[in-house]
């Protein structure tokens, strides 16, 4: 079989995903490790931290106004994932280096927005929430994994169904009915650039867009507030328990939890809105939370582009949509330090969340169990295609780091904690480019033996040579 640029040597002719068979073609680039995760559905596993996080978010968007869809198949068409949302044909997200394709027209969804066009057709009023596993070819480290979970929400209003046809007034009335919060919102209305985020004045007025945006922002602020209130309560309860245990019968003030923006009750939560860009919303924002000394992006959102409502056969509707990463939120909520832990079947992980889904007051920060030792190994190689004429890649044809990441994941699975480029060098005469990567092998489940680490590393080296055509130095 041919070696594709995406780095898979032999393509199976068909693959089966959740009981359905798909025919592959030369676009196929899904590693067996990733394929095996399509059946896990962590967002539906009772008491899993991803599922608990989903439940908390659902509680902020109650039925019957919002309908929940939690079991959509991860295999979607290229059209659904990209074209239906207005992604241009040359958008980088479509690249085979970034997206897992089954075949040219079929892929593993990269985001829950893949279902937006369909749900806009079927949503006659109110809104919806989707939670699902999503897939992206990406780097390997403590906060990136090729499979993660997203939750998508949307809300629509129909100008033919609101009193006097006054959509802005109807939206503002709904906004009035939402609870308030006392969170500090910095930059509640960041300026936006009409060339990236046009108003869509041909479809709606500024007042209508402003009302929808205000409803969107309040809804999402309430969600973040709910999550961080729970995170704080959890940290305070853990600190109180620790103080009680540490001081015996002495009933003092509970120890102050670490001041990281989520732990301390007297430190107000800080959030801010920043302008963003998505092909299917305008205007668009990201919500950031101040966490451990830095602004962390937690979600993307915006006023849905009217073309999507038109295409869905509901041109009289308008509304908002958002997408949020569940692991990112769960890591904050439970203080989970490594994204790979979500995939663990280790009782020392799973047992810490048991009983929490039905009683959210039992949320406590995750207590890390002892880490097994790390083992660092380097691999240095020359890229193929050695001619100085090749431009800024030093002559390398078709080198994409994500292909290396895929080889590593296939060879060593979850035993790789981290992969980093530690050296690069271009030969002054030949223009050949050499790279050195440092791979950190560490299992979450056991201490790896030298032999096990060596075997994995040999598989990585072999994979790099056979699949990516590099020459080991
Ligand atoms: C999207 O996926 C858009 N579909 C979101 C959206 C929906 C916008 C509806 C407008 C309307 P983005 O790629 O930024 O956007 O991802 C959204 C969220 O998913 C991020 O804010 C982050 O919380 C999470 N996320 C993205 N990439 C990762 C990753 N590699 N690991 C963990 N979480 C991630
Ligand atoms: Mg983003």
Domain range list for the chain: 31-74+109-362, 375-472
Closest ligand 1 atom, CA of 138? 30
Mutation pick for ligand 1 pocket among 142, 281, 300, 301 (CB with most ligand atoms within 8 Å): 300
Q: Is the pLDDT of residue 141 over 90?
A: no
Please give the number of the atom of ligand 1 that sits closest to the Cα of 300: 8
Cβ(209)–Cβ(237) below 8 Å: no
Of 377, 342, 370, 355, nearest to 458 by C-alpha is 377
What DSSP assignment string belongs to 329-384? HHHHHHT---GGGGG---HHHHGGGTT-TT-GGG-----PPPPPPPEEEEEEEEPS
Measuring from atom 27 of ligand 1, which residue has the nearest CA?
325
Distance between CA 75 and CA 136 in Å, rounded?
A: 13
Quick one: pLDDT at residue 264?
52
Q: Edge-to-edge, what's the strand order for the sheet holding 471-472?
A: 416-426, 433-441, 375-382, 471-472
Given a cut of 80, is residue 249 above it in pLDDT? no
pLDDT in tens, 272-324: 999 999 999 999 999 999 877 889 899 999 999 999 999 999 999 999 999 99
Task: Answer whether 131's CB lies under 8 Å from 112's CB.
Answer: yes
Give the pLDDT confidence of 31-60 residue by residue, as tens digits. Answer: 888 999 999 999 999 999 999 999 999 999
* Fold annotation for 31-74+109-362: BirA Bifunctional Protein; domain 2 (3.30.930)
Which is more confidently placed, 7 or 356? 356
Q: Is the confidence at residue 252, as pLDDT, over 50? A: no
Are β-strands 270-275 and 184-186 bridged in parallel, bridged antiparallel, or unpaired? parallel
Which of the ligands is closest to the CA of residue 145?
1
pLDDT at position 259: 46
pLDDT confidence bin for 392, thresholds 50/70/90: very low
Measure 421 CA to ligand 1 centroid, in angstroms: 25
Task: Please say whether the structural domain 375-472 has been given the CATH code 2.40.50.140.
Answer: no
ipTM rounded to 2 decimals: 0.98
Nearest CA to ligand 1 atom 19: 325
Q: Which residue is closest in CA terms to ligand 1's atom 20?
A: 299
At 394 the pLDDT is 43
The ligand 1 site (C-beta within 6 Å) comprises 111, 113, 136, 138, 144, 148, 150, 152, 278, 281, 297-302, 321-325, 327-328
Any idea how long the chain is? 473
**Closest protein CA for atom 9 of ligand 1:** 322
């Amino acid at each position: 079989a041919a070696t594709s640029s995406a780095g898979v040597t032999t393509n199976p002719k068909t693959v089966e995903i959740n009981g359905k068979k798909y025919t592959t073609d030369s676009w196929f680039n899904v590693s067996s490790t990733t394929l095996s995760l399509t059946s896990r559905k962590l967002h539906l596993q009772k008491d899993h931290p991803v599922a608990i996080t989903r439940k908390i978010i659902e509680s902020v968007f109650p039925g019957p106004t919002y309908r929940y869809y939690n079991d959509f198949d991860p295999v979607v068409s290229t059209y659904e994932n990209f074209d239906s949302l207005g992604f241009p044909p040359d958008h980088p997200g479509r690249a085979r280096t970034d997206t897992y394709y089954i075949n040219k027209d079929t892929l593993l969804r990269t985001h829950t927005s893949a279902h937006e066009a369909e749900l806009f057709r079927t949503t006659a009023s109110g809104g919806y929430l989707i939670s699902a596993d999503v897939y992206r070819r990406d780097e390997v480290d403590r906060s990136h994994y090729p499979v993660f979970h997203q939750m998508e929400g949307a809300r629509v209003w129909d100008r033919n169904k609101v009193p006097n046809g006054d959509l802005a007034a109807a939206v503002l009335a709904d906004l009035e009915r939402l609870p308030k919060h006392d969170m500090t919102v910095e930059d509640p209305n960041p300026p936006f650039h009409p060339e990236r985020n046009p108003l869509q004045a041909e479809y709606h007025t500024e007042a209508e867009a402003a009302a929808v945006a205000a409803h969107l922002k309040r809804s999402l602020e309430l969600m973040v507030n709910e999550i961080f209130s729970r995170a704080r309560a959890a940290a305070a309860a853990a600190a109180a328990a620790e103080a009680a245990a540490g001081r015996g019968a002495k009933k003092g003030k509970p120890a102050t939890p670490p001041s990281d923006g989520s732990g301390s009750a007297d430190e107000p939560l800080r959030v801010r809105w920043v302008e963003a860009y998505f092909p299917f919303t305008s205007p668009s924002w990201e919500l950031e939370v101040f966490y451990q000394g830095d602004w962390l992006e937690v979600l993307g959102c915006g006023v849905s582009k009217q073309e999507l409502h038109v295409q869905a056969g509901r041109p009289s509707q308008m509304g908002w949509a958002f997408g949020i990463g569940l692991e990112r939120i769960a890591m904050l909520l439970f203080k989970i330090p490594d994204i790979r832990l979500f995939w663990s079947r280790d009782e020392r992980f799973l047992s810490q969340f048991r009983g929490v889904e039905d009683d959210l007051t039992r949320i406590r920060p995750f207590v890390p169990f002892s880490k097994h030792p790390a083992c660092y190994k380097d691999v240095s190689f020359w890229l193929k295609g050695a001619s100085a004429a090749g431009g800024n890649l030093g002559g390398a044809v078709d080198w994409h780091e994500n292909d290396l990441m895929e080889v590593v994941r296939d060879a060593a699975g979850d035993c790789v904690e981290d992969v980093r480029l530690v050296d690069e060098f271009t030969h002054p005469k030949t223009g050949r480019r050499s790279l050195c990567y440092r791979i950190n092998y560490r299992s979450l489940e056991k201490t790896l033996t030298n032999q096990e680490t060596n075997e994995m590393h040999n598989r990585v080296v072999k994979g790099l040579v056979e699949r990516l055509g590099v020459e080991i130095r």
